Structure 1
């Protein structure tokens, strides 16, 4: 296989896992997608990731995924890298999604571990080989065992990277801080490590991780970008203060299934109504999860007065 055509060294810092705004009828809200993408860009993010789990990729058709990626690429206009989600548990379909993402202009591919199938390491190697060959773009593995039922160990991660030249890094979301220690201590020099947990982004980057593929950067793109820049520039106290300020929001974003809280937060911030496709449903007024989310946003200074937008 040939080496991928895109240089992955530009992948770094804070890359929001973009939400996919929707209308009340469940169709994609293209105006809100433009607004949200432009908003995070103007607040200094270092890349964007459309059509990941936070983007509700599981309920987007293949045509919708390509259209979202294509639109985000157009909005970004080369200002930062676009790493597009292309995941699933059917290798043939995932390879097709990856190829379509590349054709739509994505600079890289984020591909989650096949869920439910729980493949062997041999299956993982061949799965990611198919994805990398189809895309001809750098592929970032995505390990999130709480959602997939399959935890890739560091040994397995490095075996995949050695066997598949197109695999350049990992988004690690096991929730284990010691996992970052192992990945960073044992990785090849050109292998990229990103936190997939906002709460662990600060310690992971302090240890040398390249960045975070972030949920909270939808709500606080400026502070998260400042945190990453502070760590890179050696301003540890500044970065730590931002981390601690946003910690409650990071946790509230997972008080119920992602992306329900983050899209609700954006509604509370006056950015876009929180609409979803089934089986996800909106938080209701009086729900304790909504109270937790609202309080966290207020304490972080992201909202002042809360008025739920009419549904």
Structure 2
């Protein structure tokens, strides 16, 4: 079985809700189609952008199962969703997620140890956890910023890669030195690293990063797709696009994921921007105007890009 994931763009999917605060599966189906129409290379379902910490286990499982069903094998679907504090509850969560048929199961690095605990403790807990996860399931890691960010050390990542079970890392270090050392550490293994940070993305692609997995792929994934596929052949245009994407990514600091949901309203996919993690009523007319301007800018940039891969 080929457990490798493709290089490229893996959006960290957002979750639409109905007016009664239930998962809106009609809007979710439209969102899956929108990502695929914009030529993403995979989907990262059930992550922090999905508001997984505010979803029940049943909701997380059904979300992953539904996205797998609607993707229909056109792109791989990976998912996380273990949010519990206790080992026993995490095993229950991970086994349930394995049962959805996802293409890879992503472990959250901060769930394996507490903030003050060592890499040796991480290894011990991971070895214990791996005994409960079916060996045929490809695995990955996500340096989720909440409830605290556990950035993996290069040596720990190498150790994990050498188990032969890990094929994905969503890196959130936003640090070129750390990224460079991680890339060197996993050379010769099957583990690929995907950068979540726009400012460092182009430089990291040149060093061998496999792609992008970040929140801005909920706004204009087609621009990240172009960048990841054409940065080498079109270096001048890639640099210009990278600069523009970095400035656009500052909207992450606005009121995410409410603003991303408003963008999806503009795209015709969502009917509202209700969120369980943010107060969507705090989304002001000025916020809306900024997202509308971003949408127009995104479409203009996409139209101006030269033909690529």
Helix, strand or coil: the match of 2:280? coil
The alignment status of 1:165 with 2:164, answered yes or no, reads yes
Please, what TM-score do these two structures have when normalized by structure 1?
A: 0.84
Which of 72, 90, 94 lines up with 1:98 in the alignment?
94
1:94 deviation in Å? Answer: 2.7
Distance 1:268 1:42 in 2: 16
**Aligned residue-pair number:** 294
Q: CA contact under 8 A between 1:52 and 1:86: conserved in structure 2?
A: yes
The match for 2:7 is 12
The alignment status of 1:181 with 2:180, answered yes or no, reads yes
Q: 1:247-285: CA deviations, max 9, x gaps?
A: 3332212334x42332233234443121112x4211535
Distance 2:235 2:146 in 1: 31
The match for 2:304 is none
Equivalence map 1:190-209=2 (5 Å): 190=189, 191-209=191-209
Which of 36, 44, 53 lines up with 1:49 in the alignment?
44
Distance 1:17 1:130 in 2: 28
- 20-29 or 147-156: which moved more? 147-156
1:147 deviation in Å? Answer: 4.7
Distance 1:129 1:261 in 2: 39
The match for 1:117 is 114
1:288 deviation in Å? Answer: 6.0
Distance 1:101 1:170 in 2: 18
Q: Which blocks of at least 5 consecutive residues in structure 1 are unaligned?
A: 1-5, 304-311
1:93 deviation in Å? Answer: 2.6
Distance 1:187 1:27 in 2: 41
Q: CA contact under 8 A between 1:260 and 1:283: conserved in structure 2?
A: no
Q: 1:44-103: CA deviations, max 9, x gaps?
A: 111101101111111111111111111111111111111111333433333322222221
Please, what TM-score do these two structures have when normalized by structure 2?
A: 0.84
Q: 1:204-240: CA deviations, max 9, x gaps?
A: 2121111111222122122221211113x63323333
Distance 1:99 1:90 in 2: 14
1:124 deviation in Å? Answer: 1.7
CA root-mean-square deviation: 2.6
Helix, strand or coil: the match of 1:199? coil
The match for 1:143 is 143
1:295 deviation in Å? Answer: 4.1
Distance 1:230 1:95 in 2: 41
Change (3 A) 1:43 1:295: closer
The match for 2:227 is 227
The match for 2:307 is none
Q: Which blocks of at least 5 consecutive residues in structure 2 are unaligned?
A: 302-309
Helix, strand or coil: the match of 2:200? helix
Helix, strand or coil: the match of 2:282? coil
Q: CA contact under 8 A between 1:45 and 1:222: conserved in structure 2?
A: yes
